[in-house]
Structure 1
Amino acid sequence: MNEINVVTGIGLYIITGGVFALVANLLRQPLILAYLAAGVMLGANLGLGLLECQHTIETIADIGLILLLFVIGLEIDLKKLLASGRIIIAAGISQFLLCVALALGFALLAGFTLGGGRFDALYLAVSLSLSSTMIVVKLLYDKFEMTTLPGQITLGILVFQDIWAIVFLALVPNLSNPALGVLAWSLTEGVLLVAVSLAASRFILPWVFASAANKPELVLVLAIAWCFLVSGVAEVLGLSMEMGALIAGVSLSTFPYNVDVIAKVTSVRDFFVILFFVGLGMLIPMPDAQLLLTALAASAGLVFIRFVTIFPVLFGMTRSLHTSLIPCVNLSQISEFSLVILALGLGLGHVDQRLLSLVIIVFALTSVLSTYAIQYSHQVQGVLARALRALGLRDLHDEQAPPKDVAQKDIVFLGFSSVTSSLLEELVRAAPAAGIPSVLDRVLVMDANIRVHGLLKKHGVACVYGDITNMDTLSHANFSQAKTLIGTTPDTLLHGTTNLRLLRSLKRLYPRAQVMLAAVTIPGALKLYDKGADYVFLPRLHSARQAALAVLAGLNGDMAAQGADEARELRERHEVLP
């Protein structure tokens, strides 16, 4: 053991974690994996044995853990959760309970204990039932899928998982005395702490924070003070400080200062979190063949359990393979929160070091695999959907083939977004002046978001379910009588295809139709023109009103002429950032 002072130890943690994090960032892997790897290298079990996990550093790391859970609580918006809709509520409740039940069966079959003061099987089951908010949110944000229906369902389930984790943390301190009355009282204390914290956030804290709003640094201090106050009360009640931190965050989640507090606390939290995960990595022992095989089996079981617990619920409520499969792919990893729970269980003597090592290996495996699975989630979903259709499962796409009268619409919108909504409104406003009093009767929308369908029908717009990125869907739709096909989604928001590929498909399927597509850059727009697009909508230059006039011109077959004029103007532009 190397006797070094605390400052030197922290320095080694940070330097090593920073180097590994830089490599992980270049490889597009989660930074938590880098911190764990840094701990492995520093530790004596698998690494160089440069230092031991010192008690003082562990104490500092515990502060980071409390701040981590505080930030997680801040990001749980109870108002949005209650208004999230029956699909998310049903999936959020059933997913965790079913996952725990199936994972508990797996853990018991794998030989993990439950009883006699040990709760390895239960901790493993709970750990396998939680998915990584950090990984999923980052990847969905990068893919611009946070606001899609599958993305919203994914985020809703993640929020419910955090709520379930709070419930479990409330029970953890009394698992060694599992009498029903003791557990019920522990849960009651947790509910009371939540109620009191929410009451304080409703009647007292708004006044406190409002009085300090002109001093941003004071807002931060008050927020952290509230975090440690609730954490301390939780510890006095016999609950965990970590649970108190979560509750403190939840109670502040609807405050107008929430975003600013998260931004400031996150930078402080990250410093301490590095120490926590590096220290955790130092505890990993040399894995043997049995441990690795168990980790592989647990990883495969986790993916299987996600599909069998999430897909049936979503498909039963949406009848959409796309909407039901994407969240399963997104959530097929273990959470960093699971490592926190296992670390707490280890400290309480509920589990042994071997289980913690197993969960860390599963975390590493599923994090790496899900990084790529989420990146290519639509391709993965396509393969799974074809397999399910081959087994006879009917998709909403199969049941909602466009009726004959729908297929005769003159204007077809491929996908519907806020941009499309503005374009449609401008089209309705400009149509009477062009001698078209009922333009909505000539419009059809194809979109895979079933929530949009209800809104469109309320406005008298015909709509049909379909994935516009799928060639078979476009062919099956039979838009042979359409005069104009319009796609307003730029490449940055399309998944599994590009506007250039979409253009080629549409020209091949419907050579007589005029095609309007969207672009982000001038070179991108010119490339679409060169490949046969009749009009390219460039939001940075064109308004929805201009695009609507082009659509109306298309009803008379004049869209290409307007597009040619636009292309000439684009070629004459010499912008710094084209």
Structure 2
Amino acid sequence: MHDLIRDITLCILFAWAIGLAAHFFRQPLILAYLVAGFIIGPYGIKLVKSDESVATISELGLIFMLFMIGLEIDLKKIIRAGKVILIAAGAQLVAGCIFGAAFFMAIGLRLGGGGFDALYLAVACALSSTVVIVKVLYEKRELDTLPGRITLGVLVIQDIFAIMFLAIQPSLDNLQIGVVLLSFLRVGALVAIAFALSRYVLPPLFHQIARRPELVLLGALAWCFLIGEIAERLHLSREMGSLVAGVALSTFPYALDVTAKVTTLRDFFITLFFVGVGMTIPVPDMATIKLALLVAVFTVVSRLVTTFVPLYLMKQGLRASLLPALNLAQISEFSLVVLQTGIAANHITKECSSAASFAFVILAVLSTFAMVQSDQITRWAIPVLKRFGLRDLDHGQGGEGDQVEVHGQARRIVILGFYRAASALLSEIERQNKSLLDQISVVDFNPNVYRTLATRGLHVVYGDISNVDTLVHAGVGNAEIIILSVPDSLLKGANNEKLVRHVRSINPTAKVISTADMLSDVGDIYAAGADYVTVTRLSDAHALYEVIEAVDQGLLQAKRADLDTQLAERREVLP
């Protein structure tokens, strides 16, 4: 026991020290934890030598990690995901596993006869890293974009797939229909028990202790270990039970409160898990390095093929098909979980697991860089793909690359970029002066916006507004009013000041209306040539002040009724 406490202390100290270095060099913290484990483990400087300590640390971390993954799986979002995400995720997972198994068997790995290295590596390569992806997309403010929503939807479906694999994993040695059905029946029983308890027993209990944070935290942990023990009694694993416990808890009213209280504890044990994984990684020989590179290359190539192709065939456009493929091009932390369960069941060798761990490290670094530079990569790749004969949504507009032409009479009003403000503007015009819609042209590269506006009969040009050639061929030079409605936080490759300068160089006489995120940007945008700059916070402040006045005058319900009437009358493109 004293050795275990000392080993956990060393794990935390080294994880923190190397985590600081990773933070300064802008590298994923998971990478730091793996490196810390390697340094202090049996293959490093051997500060932690006990196999029992390594196994205990890893299992505790794994249980809490799966519990938190379960808490963050939103079943309602999966149901509402829509066919694009469901089909894309299904195609990516099925094709990725088939291609992966075939590829790894072709290079000599086992599949059958007690060895399942090829299958485990195929599954590992089919899953993408939620931690890396969400962190980068959040920092780039792309979680709410179309490619971001597709990416997150695919990640959720991948988590469900991993749950299904963990359900049949104990029966891989004897994959008969009866055995597989028995495994699913056990999982079904576990899920039924967990969801019944979470629906009928937990809510009243948590309602009683909602004001006692320590009891909420303790109750969540008790729930995690209870379902884990039930899973163990059903001949499943405690890890599987903790995952189901998290999913079941995610559906009941106190899930957000539980998640907030368990987050700190989760971070502690996830750190232990990845440090524990790092301690199991041996010093690589040339064979392991070669296999790790093969795994990394296969992961990137297969992800580009299995993600881009279905999205492209569903007419999402080149950009919205490429970006999710780039976002998903790494190995998941969940893959390390799958590999650890494979080692525990003697299904795979430690050499294969080590190679996959090295590939995880390589791709965590490279994919972070690729995601940060994804807009530049797609701008380079789209013309190349077009030269190979792939058609974008602008096919037929008469353009080359990002260049698009407006056929017929030029529109008097050009809206560059289409986000919520532009959506609200079109709805307002439709309500007050519908004839004005015939004088408007919209330029944007969101495929959903393109199709919806075209269906409504509006003139829309598919193109990248940060490209000067797009502005020229979209008819900006002949417009009387040019509206830039997208805030800087969402613009890629440009900002409103830069766009105003481009627009003004093409059309010196038009009235240019721009928008500003920061008050300090207003003067710079006017200096660039704008005639008017909107600042959303000012209109929001005015609306909030009117609400306060309505409260003081006892008219809040009337004001809300008026707003409800306005919302009911609107037909906006974007929600």
**TM-score, structure 2 as length reference:** 0.88
Q: Matched residues in 1 for 2:196 and 2:90: separation?
A: 25
Q: 2:36 aligns with which of 32, 35, 38?
A: 38
1:298 corresponding residue in structure 2: 295
Deviates more, 1:255-264 or 1:398-407: 398-407
Question: Could you tell me how far apart the structure 2 residues matched to 1:412 and 1:543 are?
Answer: 25
Rounded Cα–Cα distance in structure 1 between residues aligned with 2:70 and 2:370: 27
Cα distance in 2 for residues equivalent to 1:152 and 1:31: 24
| Aligned mates of 1:437, 1:331 — CA distance in 2 | 42
* 1:428 Cα deviation after fit: 6.1
Residue among 406, 409, 412 paired with 1:410: 412
Taking the aligned partners of 1:318 and 1:71, their CA distance within structure 2 comes to 35
Cα gap change, 1:119 to 1:410, in 2 (>3 Å): same
Pair 1:80–1:317, CA change in 2 (3 A):
same
> In the aligned structure 2, how far is the partner of 1:105 from the partner of 1:522?
57
Q: Which residue matches 2:514?
A: 517
Per mean C-alpha deviation after superposition, the further-off stretch among 228-237 and 192-201 is 192-201
Question: Structure 1 pair 53/38, CA: closer, same or farther in 2 (3 Å)?
Answer: farther
Equivalent in the alignment of 2:560: none
Q: CA deviation at 1:61?
A: 3.6
Whether contact under 8 Å (2:191, 2:244) holds in the other structure is yes
* Corresponding position of 1:557: none
Q: Which runs of 5+ in 2 are unaligned?
A: 399-403, 544-575
- Greater alpha carbon shift after TM alignment, 194-203 vs 168-177: 194-203
1:395 lines up with 2:395 in the alignment: no
1:15 to 13, 16, 33: 13
- Counterpart AA for 1:14: I
Q: CA deviation at 1:407?
A: 5.7
Work out the CA distance in 2 between the residues paired with 1:158 and 1:237. 28
The change in CA–CA distance for 1:495 and 1:407 in structure 2 (over 3 A counts) is farther
Contact 1:117 1:176 in 2 (8 A): yes
Question: Quick one: distance in 2 between partners of 1:26 and 1:41?
Answer: 19
Change (3 A) 1:315 1:117: same
Q: Residue 117 in 1 paired to residue 121 in 2? A: no
Question: Which residue matches 1:420?
Answer: 422
In the other structure, the counterpart of 1:343 is: 340
- Does the 8 A contact of 2:406 with 2:473 survive in 1? no
What whole-Å deviation, never above 9, does each CA across 1:162-207 have from its counterpart, x for those lacking one? Answer: 0000000001111122223212211232233224433443444333
Contact 2:199 2:252 in 1 (8 A): no
C-alpha RMSD over aligned residues: 2.4
**Contact conserved, 1:114 with 1:122, CA < 8 A, in 2?**
yes
283-292 or 336-345, larger mean C-alpha shift: 283-292
1:238 aligns with 2:235: yes
Deviation at 1:214, TM superposition (A): 3.3
Residue 72 (structure 1) shift = 0.8
| 392-401 or 89-98: bigger deviation | 392-401
Q: CA deviation at 1:268?
A: 0.4
8 Å CA contact retained: 2:54, 2:279: no
226-235 or 367-376, which moves further after superposition?
A: 226-235
The alpha-carbon distance between structure 1 residues 67 and 124, as it changes in their structure 2 partners (threshold 3 A), is same
CA–CA separation in structure 1 for the residues paired with 2:479 and 2:232: 67
Provide the residue aligned with 1:72 in structure 2: 69
SS at match of 1:540: helix
Letter in 2 for 1:140: L
Out of 95-104 and 231-240, give the one that drifted further. Answer: 231-240
**Structure 1 match to 2:270:** 273
Distance 1:215-1:452 versus aligned 2 partners, 3 A rule = farther
- For 2:416, give the aligned amino acid: L
CA distance in 1, matches of 2:216, 2:413: 53
Q: How many Å separate the matches in 2 of 1:354 and 1:291?
A: 7
Give unmatched runs, 5+ long, in structure 1: 547-578
Deviations 1:348-379 (A, max 9, x none): 11111111110111001000000010101111
Measure how far apart 1:54 and its partner are: 4.7
| Alignment partners' CA distance in 2, 1:403 and 1:210 | 61
Deviates further, 237-246 or 160-169: 237-246
Alpha-carbon shift at residue 25 of structure 1 (Å) = 1.0
SS of corresponding position for 2:488: coil
- Quick one: distance in 1 between partners of 2:313 and 2:391? 11
State how far apart, in whole Å, the 2-side matches of 1:242 and 1:267 are.
19
Q: 1:6 to 1:82 in 2, by over 3 A?
A: same
1:568 counterpart residue number: none
Structure 1 residues 370-379 or 186-195, which shifts more?
186-195
SS at match of 1:255: coil
- Does the 8 Å contact 2:7/2:48 carry over to 1? yes
With over 3 angstroms needed to count, the CA separation of the structure-2 counterparts of 1:186 and 1:497, relative to structure 1, is same
Secondary structure in 2 matching 1:412: strand
- What is the SS of the residue equivalent to 1:398? coil
Give yes or no for contact 2:481–2:513 (8 Å, CA) kept in 1. Answer: yes
1:321-336 aligned within 5 A: 321-336=318-333
- 1:260 corresponds to which residue? 257
1:320 is aligned to 317
TM-score normalised by structure 1 residue count: 0.87
CA shift in 2, pair 1:121/1:437, >3 Å: closer
Alignment of 1:56-67 (within 5 A): 56=53, 58-67=55-64
Q: Distance in 2 between matches of 1:353 and 1:517?
A: 58
Q: Distance in 2 between matches of 1:488 and 1:23?
A: 40
**Paired residue secondary structure (1:242):** helix
Secondary structure at 1:463 match in 2: strand
Q: CA deviation at 1:275?
A: 1.8
Aligned partner of residue 176 in structure 1, secondary structure? helix
Query: Partners of 1:227 and 1:206 in 2: how far apart?
Result: 15
Q: Deviations over 1:190-247 (max 9, x none)?
A: 2332244334434443333333333333333322222222222222111222122221
* Distance (whole Å) between structure 2 residues aligned to residue 296 and residue 491 of structure 1: 38
Corresponding residue of 1:101: 98
CA positional deviation for 1:475: 2.6
Q: 1:495 aligns with which of 488, 492, 496?
A: 492
Deviation at 1:16, TM superposition (A): 0.6
Instruction: Name the CA shift for 1:89/1:406 in 2 (closer, same or farther; >3 Å).
Output: farther
Residue in structure 2 matched with residue 384 of structure 1 by the alignment = 381
Cα 1:406–1:298 shift into 2, 3 Å: farther
Identity of aligned residues (%): 45
Answer yes or no: is 1:359 the counterpart of 2:361: no
Deviates more, 1:348-357 or 1:155-164: 348-357
2:81 is matched by which residue type in structure 1? S
Shift of the 455–385 alpha-carbon distance from structure 1 to 2, 3 Å rule, reads: closer
Count how many residue pairs are aligned between Structure 1 and Structure 2.
538
